[in-house]
Amino acid sequence: MKLLRPALPLTILCLGLTACAHLPLGLDPGTIRSVADAQRILGAPALRWSKPDGGEQLVFPQGPMGYRTWMMHTGADGRVLSMENVMSPAHFARIQPGMSQDAVLRILGPSYTGWTIYYKARDELVWEWRYCDVWSEPARFNVLFDGSSGKVRSTMAQVERLSQPWGRGDRREWCGR
C-alpha cells in the first residue's frame, strides 16, 4: 500500500494536465463532436449561419489576444462535420478584391471590433485579426474595404514586432502556447 500513496499525487497531476490539454489554446478539434461540446469548451459562438441542408456554420473566435478562430460546420443532426482554425495563410488567400463583408465573415469570422478603423480621407474600413504566421511569430492580418460599397479592396499582413519601435518585441514563444 505504501507504494500506491506516492502514485496518487502523480495520478492527480496527470489528470490535471490532461484536462488542460483540452483548453482552447491546445484544443484538438477531434474531441468536439457536437455543438454542445463546442459551447461547453469554447463558449457561445460569435456568429452562426443556417445552411440549406439543415446544418449550421458556427464561429468561435479566441481573440482579441488569442491567435485562433475556430470555424465549425455541422450536419442537420448537430454532429460536427468539420472544425478548423481559420487564422492561416490558406484562409487569408481566399479573401479577394470585390468580396462582400459577409463573405469575409464566413471565411475568417469576426475581427476584433476594438481594432476596426475607418480612414475618412481614403473612405476605407479596416478589419484586423491576430494570428501566428508560418514562422510561429505573432502577426496581424488586415482586410481593407471600400467604405462606400463595403467590398474588399485589398489585404495585408505584418508581424507584430515590425509595429514596435526598432522592431523590438520578438514574441515567438507566445505562438507556441
Q: What is the pLDDT of residue 14?
A: 44
Per-residue pLDDT tens for 86-124? 999 999 999 999 999 999 999 999 999 898 999 999 999
Do residues 109 and 173 both lie within one domain? yes
Structural contact between residues 68 and 24, judged by C-beta atoms closer than 8 angstroms:
yes
Query: Across the chain, which distance is largest between two alpha carbons, in Å?
Result: 77
Do residues 37 and 97 both lie within one domain? no
HSE-up (13 A, CA, CB side) for residue 3: 0
Q: What is the pLDDT of residue 160?
A: 84
**Residue scoring higher pLDDT (176 or 67):** 67
Do residues 175 and 115 both lie within one domain? yes
CA 60/CA 32 separation, integer angstroms? 13
Please report, for the domain that includes residue 53, its CATH number. Answer: 3.30.1450
Q: Across the chain, what does the average pLDDT equal? A: 83
Do residues 93 and 171 both lie within one domain? yes
Q: Which of 64, 85, 106 is the last residue of a domain?
A: 85
CA 152/CA 106 separation, integer angstroms? 14
Residue 169 located in a structural domain = yes
Residue 7 located in a structural domain = no
Do residues 108 and 155 both lie within one domain? yes
Q: Which of 36, 60, 85 is the last residue of a domain?
A: 85
User: Which residues form the domain of 68?
Assistant: 19-85
Do residues 105 and 76 both lie within one domain? no
Do residues 162 and 136 both lie within one domain? yes
Do residues 98 and 140 both lie within one domain? yes
Residue 137 located in a structural domain = yes
Residues 6+ apart with CB under 8 A from 101: 145, 150
Do residues 49 and 108 both lie within one domain? no
Do residues 63 and 27 both lie within one domain? yes
Is the pLDDT reported for residue 166 higher than 80? Answer: no
HSE-up (13 A, CA, CB side) for residue 65: 3
Q: Which of 67, 85, 103 is the last residue of a domain?
A: 85
**Number of domains comprising the chain:** 2
CA 74/CA 33 separation, integer angstroms? 9
3-class secondary structure for the chain?
Answer: CCCHHHHHHHHHHHHHHHHHCCCHHHCCHHHCCEHHHHHHHHCCCCEEEECCCCCEEEEEECCCCCCCEEEEEECCCCEEEEEEECCCHHHHCCCCCCCCHHHHHHHHCCCCHHHCEEEHHHCEEEEEEEEECCCCCEEEEEEEEECCCCCEEEEEEEEHHHHCHHHCCCCHHHHCC
Please report, for the domain that includes residue 154, its CATH number. Answer: 3.30.1450.10
